[in-house]
Structure 1
Amino acid sequence: MDFYDEIGKMALGSRLRRLSDLLTEEAAQIYALYDIDMQPKWFPVFYVLSRGEEKSITEIAQEIGHSHPSVSQIVREMAKKGYVKEKKGKKDGRKNFVTLSPAGEAVRNKIQAQYADVGAAVDTAMKTTQYDLWKAIAEWEFLLEQKTLLRRVQEEKKQRESAAVHIVDYTPEYAKAFKDLNEEWITLYFTMEEADHKALDHPKEYILSKGGHIWMAMYDEQPVGTCAMIKMEDGGYELAKMAVSPAVRGKNIGWLLGQAAIHWAQEKGAKRVYLESNTILKPAINLYHKLGFKKITGPPSPYERANIQMELCLDQI
């Protein structure tokens, strides 16, 4: 069994590189067949310059989708071979522009027969295949422009790991974890305040017995995240004390906690969920927006660190 058939899609890049290496090796032999002294990697730059226009390194790089250093290196190699020359631009004398030299022009004239034969050979090969490789490559390039493969893998990783996260109700056995998780993030950015100590040291008295609720996020049977709903005088709830261990971030835990809390508030018949935060906590603010919260101007906060107030109207979702 072929290695790439065995390993499958995980080796997509390696398989494409193998195909690229094969075609590049044969391209070198094709140049030799037509007695043209050309390295395959030079071709995109050569082709752009063969149109007769002077081009800057930046313009060439943008047109062929290569990096500036890569194009600079190719131009140096082609200049050493005598195929290109650099000169000051006609419109902008501060920039160097690249053009084909007389030797490069001679190659341009000579290579036309090769173009015709290679184009015909590729067309013939494609007619014998079930799939149009050229269109497939274009489609993949478009897809990866919309969302990179890295981003797609990150999303799959998050989804897989999120499936291993379980949201459970708070019990006294989680008292230390509830406090430690919150203290960890608060002291990283701010200073613990009196209201923090009251809620974290006495969650039953300050949250649960007043009609609120606390959730714990479990991963590998360990508490790694938490959040609470605190009953408000107007019948709504305040989303508070949300914390996720830095060791497990990127697993959608904040989203899962927030969803659990919002669903609970809806079942309680609440009209709104309120929260306070700080704008330096960009991931948290992004999460709240994703959950549907919008910025409002509310009453003064008991927390010095709070500089933004947000609200989710439950009757609008």
Structure 2
Amino acid sequence: MDFFNKVGKAALGSRLRLMTAAITDDASKIYELYGVEFIPKWFPVFYTLAEEREITITEIASEIGHSQPSVSKIMRELIAAGLVEEIEKADDKRKNNIILTQKGTAISQVFKNQLQDIDFAIEEMILQSKHNLWAALEEWEFLLSQKSLLKRVSEQKKKRESKNVEIVEYKPQYKEPFKALNVEWISKYFEMEEADYKALDNPEDYILNKGGKILVALYDNEPVGVCALIKMNDSEYDFEMAKMAVSPKAQGKNIGYLLGNAIVNAAKQSGAKKIYLESNTILKPAINLYYKLGFEKVFGLSTPYKRCNIQMELVL
């Protein structure tokens, strides 16, 4: 077990496979012990059929959590072994039910004692161990159903990489990245519009000198994300959150959230009560981010952008 001690919990899958292989190997020998010719992988399907009821392949797959092709393959093997057979359902010629043959029924009777002995053996192991593996498996199955391991690892990756992200105030040296990053994503999905050029060509006059703010995300000292807070006059909103852009090469590092959160905090510090934004629902990751930041949909405001089909607000 030195390998697992070295690698740690990242080798969970390998360790579980090793245990599964050991248990499966023993399972084959246990069937031999009881004089039964049986393959361990058949058990869930066979046990479901042994409950003395007629059932279809689709119903079996749903009940045991396997795919229908997998169950169909096992069923063909069970039929070839003479343990089950198909019968035509009288009231529906399109469906065939599966039942045990006489040979299969005889094996199911042997299984009653076998399963009782296995249950007692495992219970004995549980009593001898410090941790109840059976109960732990139930807990882990529930936790993974709530959030997959992939999702959990992705979140940890974002947390680690976001530590290398620095959010800084706009400086003249960031004028070109501010424009380039926005032009990149706008041109990918839409067309540049007059209002875009006003903000991106003259950020000092259009945003900063009017009481707004621009924040820049640096990753390893390279500007990879930007976002602006534009002062709104003659409006119920104090600021508009706009011109958020993250370089494709830096996506997946939580940069959008870090920028958005920093902009919201900047608005709060200025005494703002409400923030407004405009977007397009084709940008699903961005919309999800805005909801995560606390924005909600609003309707009916005029907009200079043709691409805008959703408007949102955040009450601070």
Instruction: State the TM bucket, normalised to the shorter chain.
Output: over 0.9
- The runs of 5 or more residues in structure 2 that have no matched partner are none
Give 1:110's aligned residue. 110
The structural deviation recorded for 1:91 is: 4.6
User: In the aligned structure 1, how far is the partner of 2:276 from the partner of 2:42?
Assistant: 61
Report the more deviating stretch, 72-81 or 89-98.
89-98
CA deviation map 1:34-85 (0-9, x unaligned): 1100001111111111111111112111211212111111111111111011
- The runs of 5 or more residues in structure 1 that have no matched partner are none
Give 2:218's aligned residue. 218
User: In the aligned structure 2, how far is the partner of 1:196 from the partner of 1:111?
Assistant: 73
User: Is 1:261 matched up with 2:245?
Assistant: no
Please give the residue correspondences for 1:115-126 in structure 2 after superposition, counting only pairs within 5 Å: 115-126=115-126
Report the more deviating stretch, 120-129 or 245-254.
120-129
Report the more deviating stretch, 245-254 or 112-121.
112-121
Give 2:67's aligned residue. 67
TM-score, normalised by the number of residues in structure 2: 0.95
Gap change, CA 1:243 and 1:23, over 3 Å in 2: same
User: In the aligned structure 1, how far is the partner of 2:15 from the partner of 2:161?
Assistant: 28
The structural deviation recorded for 1:97 is: 1.7
Give 1:199's aligned residue. 199
The structural deviation recorded for 1:264 is: 0.9
Q: Secondary structure at the match of 1:311?
A: strand
User: In the aligned structure 2, how far is the partner of 1:112 from the partner of 1:262?
Assistant: 64
User: In the aligned structure 2, how far is the partner of 1:298 from the partner of 1:114?
Assistant: 70
User: In the aligned structure 2, how far is the partner of 1:18 from the partner of 1:101?
Assistant: 35
Give 1:242's aligned residue. 244
**RMSD (Å) for aligned C-alpha atoms:** 1.4
Please give the residue correspondences for 1:41-52 in structure 2 after superposition, counting only pairs within 5 Å: 41-52=41-52
Give 1:311's aligned residue. 313
User: In the aligned structure 2, how far is the partner of 1:194 from the partner of 1:294?
Assistant: 27
CA deviation map 1:218-277 (0-9, x unaligned): 112111110111111147111111111122212211111111111111111122111111
2:111 is aligned with what amino acid?
A: I
Give 2:159's aligned residue. 159
Runs of 4+ in structure 1 over 6 Å off: none
Please give the residue correspondences for 1:1-317 in structure 2 after superposition, counting only pairs within 5 Å: 2-234=2-234, 236-314=238-316
User: In the aligned structure 1, how far is the partner of 2:271 from the partner of 2:299?
Assistant: 23
2:204 is aligned with what amino acid?
A: K
Aligned residues between the structures: 314
The structural deviation recorded for 1:115 is: 2.2
Report the more deviating stretch, 224-233 or 85-94.
85-94
Q: Secondary structure at the match of 2:210?
A: coil
The structural deviation recorded for 1:150 is: 1.1
Gap change, CA 1:298 and 1:210, over 3 Å in 2: farther
The structural deviation recorded for 1:202 is: 1.2
The structural deviation recorded for 1:104 is: 0.6
Q: Identity over aligned residues, as a percent? A: 56
Q: Secondary structure at the match of 2:271?
A: coil
Report the more deviating stretch, 93-102 or 177-186.
93-102
2:264 is aligned with what amino acid?
A: I
1:118 is aligned with what amino acid?
A: I
The structural deviation recorded for 1:2 is: 2.4
The structural deviation recorded for 1:90 is: 4.3
User: In the aligned structure 2, how far is the partner of 1:17 from the partner of 1:311?
Assistant: 50
User: In the aligned structure 2, how far is the partner of 1:116 from the partner of 1:288?
Assistant: 55
